Structure 1
């Protein structure tokens, strides 16, 4: 694995409740990576396209992005499309994490370059299991590109 254990995980999520639940699940499964949060698509793009330049943001790109679709301002689809079209950012794994189970949303996201699509479960225990599997696969089993 390429030093991904030191790279942050970027969570793009506008819901405080969902972000809190994700944080609990990350802690339960002993995620070592720092977790960054952007509350909307504009903030996420500012960080990702200007990493290392803005005060307070890390100078390292994230190991992966956990991206909600329905965000205020620039929505998740536009963020996904922008990342996957950017030659410096397109290799960052983007995992869509949405309440939508619409086949159209799923197909659109994969067409735009999503690496995975997960629906947000209603029960916390199911969320924990999805996060456990996500951490084990993306940060344990897969080889991630060295972006910087």
Structure 2
């Protein structure tokens, strides 16, 4: 059963991004919001999967409430991360939003076929990028209903 996200508890958000500038802008956007959250950052697909499956250096990582996933990543790309998540019965329920520079139709189609919950093309302008992240956070953590930890047991 899906229940409303508890806004009194910080949301754990996993950002999977290898571009230092985009990481900085995302952190800036989240820092100014009134919604409590904890932003975790990994910079490649292998670390993303380790975080999501709580293994290796990320054995104590929290289960994220939301994943922001770039497609163009080192070691394993975003499609490979999505595919592994989709194949796992427990982790496929974690909402994944693609946040990438690609606006190629094939990437959009592939992402949705692999069960991404949304696809956003990163704006080039830094102010527009920050606005996009703020709107994404507001929508996913204020408006949408997300599963709670109990829903995954």
* Shorter-chain TM-score above 0.5: yes
CA distance in 2 between counterparts of 1:49 and 1:55 reads 8
Counterpart of 1:25 in 2: which secondary structure? helix
SS in 2 for 1:90: helix
Q: Which runs of 4+ in 1 moved over 2 A?
A: 1-7, 28-31, 53-58
Q: Distance in 2 between matches of 1:35 and 1:146?
A: 18
RMSD between superposed Cα atoms in Å:
1.8
Tell me the SS of whatever aligns to 1:136: helix
Could you say which residue in structure 2 is the equivalent of 1:135?
137
Unaligned 5+ residue runs, structure 2? none
TM-score, with length taken from structure 1: 0.90
2:77 corresponds to which residue?
75
Distance in 1 (CA, whole Å) between partners of 2:125 and 2:26 is 12
1:92 matches 2:100: no
Tell me the TM-score normalized by structure 2.
Answer: 0.88
Q: Which runs of 5+ in 1 are unaligned?
A: none
Question: SS at 2:102's partner residue?
Answer: coil
1:41 to 28, 31, 45: 45
Matched length: 146
Secondary structure at the counterpart of residue 3 of structure 1: coil
Note the C-alpha offset of 1:54. 4.6
1:36-87 CA distances to partner (integer Å, 9 max, x unpaired)?
0011000010111126x756743x2001000000000111100011112111
Q: Distance in 2 between matches of 1:57 and 1:18?
A: 26
